[in-house]
Structure 1
Amino acid sequence: MKSSLKQLWSARTFIDNRYILDADRNLVESNTNKPLLCIGQACALSRDLFWATSKNYPRSAVNELVNILKAEKATLPPMEGAFLWRFSQWTSKEFTIDYFVVPTQTLELIPQDVKFLIPHYPSEQGATALLDLTHSDTQEQIAAAFSEYKLHDVIGLTYDAAGEKGKATQRLSTKSLIIGCAAAIALTLASVTGYLQWSLQSLEQQQAANQVKIDEVLSKRNDFERKVTSYSELGEFLKKSPNVLAKLSHLNLEGEDVILERVVVSTNGVQVSGSTKSSATNLLQQVIASEQVKEAKFSRPVVKQNSGVESFTIEVYWL
């Protein structure tokens, strides 16, 4: 159930991560399957292609989120481009927002059908507010980063290609209107459940720690139950066949030239597998001559190896 909910709120469930723009400004189209309910296509961006910074706010300021975003949009960007944001942390005392600015020259490389820009911005880079000019990420890393995004993470990563590039707004088709409504509903639900998701993270961590101890206890209990079952079965067998060990001792299978490899005991007999340097037929005659044996025979043909050793399986029935 938990994995199904995580899958439901994953950004991949509703967003098609169709494009990757790498550090060398190469646009690559991915071959991933389009989601069944797709609210738009996304382009994942290399860390080298955008400016980023993170800011902390007291938790009480969440009621002023709209005003905070407006103020930061007006003062933060060091260049012209698309202004994006996302929540990155939420604690009992404060929350953190990552801000991104994608320069105009980068936007010119992004296809018109893109509705979301997905920055490759690992959490350990949160304190860095400079554009990283080294090619520190690969196409595989950029694509993999998208799998970590939840639906509420992309609320502030929407992108209007026509609006950013000053092009005329196109008439929306009926399909576009339906997709737009679905996106609005999905994003609204995501924003409402965002806080619950963050709260559940701490509970999941506690559960994971307890699960290790629970698994250890269950493993020991199962091991104990297996031993009890084995001892019970052995006791039941010896109760039904009290003389089985004495009968085995009278088979006369001992000797330097005889090697026993497997012995299978039942209530009415025994099956012995092994090898001998002498004659397996003579060994069978010795078994037949035993006082406790009713019948003995080879249960499979004797195999003579190149070394001269004969492999045998003798089936014995008690009197």
Structure 2
Amino acid sequence: MLINCAAYQDGRKLADIEIDDISLYVAQPECFVWVALKDPGPGELAVMQHEFGLHELAVEDVRNGRQRPKIDEYGDSLFVVLHTVEMDEEGELVAGEVDVFVGPNYVLTVRNGTRQGFREVRARCEREPELLKQGSAFVLYALADHIVDRYFPILEALGTEFEELEDRIFERHNVAASRAIIEDLYSLKRRFVLLQHHVSPLLEAIGKLTGGRIPQACVGMSAYFRDVYDHLERIVKTIDGRREMVVTAVQVNLGMISLAESEVTKRLGSFAALFAVPTMIAGIYGMNFQHIPELAYQYGYPICLGVMLVVDLLLYWRFRRSGWL
């Protein structure tokens, strides 16, 4: 589906144009055409391939979809794959793909499986005609910058969720609650891994535009792409740190479970000791021997009960002092 098709010259928009007129504007040396498609069909891609002279391999990648973030160079044009990441109502991450064809005098963006639009990017570019004079390279920068900036709210939301889980770890709870915390931590780690899967390859790709041999289409824009690279680098480092913290949190939660089980074991052992002493004494005097001297004592029974009580009180005091009860 066609979203936009416009021609620009000298940093300013000339007009919205028809698809059949693209070749007329592309032929003009100081013009460039910006076309935006969403979930296009094979016929639309074929038309764009004919109008812009797109490389067959790049078009095939768009048709197949599910490409990792990358930048491929075909002569004086680039094929760029960017991934969008959104968070649904249940907190799960939903990824989409944006394919960008960049040539000396054209930009073609193809959105697949993403709800995110780029009206803000087009409005920003049109508000900055001095930068838009750079042509298609500035449009590519604005698109990449916009997509990367949208990673930050996702990262912040996941960080907030992790902080809430950290607080839950140190609350007193049962085994079922501890299991739920571990499941939530694992779910969080999985989402961090998923986010990293979409961000890390893009860091490597954008690095191609910041130094060394810069593609011809992006000459003069390396400083701007370096800004995007810095943002990506910060995001990747934050994700790595969060993943390590999640692993540590799982270990801490398991340690808290072990401590809770140890406390239960100590209490059970303490109560067992309190019952063991009277049971031992009662067992001795319950043996069927005829010659047990204490059986003939007039006060043997109350003395025996008193000894049991005193020993249990001493044990109870000792256990309480040690924190076992």
TM-score by length of 1: 0.25
Q: Which has the higher helix share?
A: 2
Q: Which has the higher strand share?
A: 1
TM-score by length of 2: 0.25
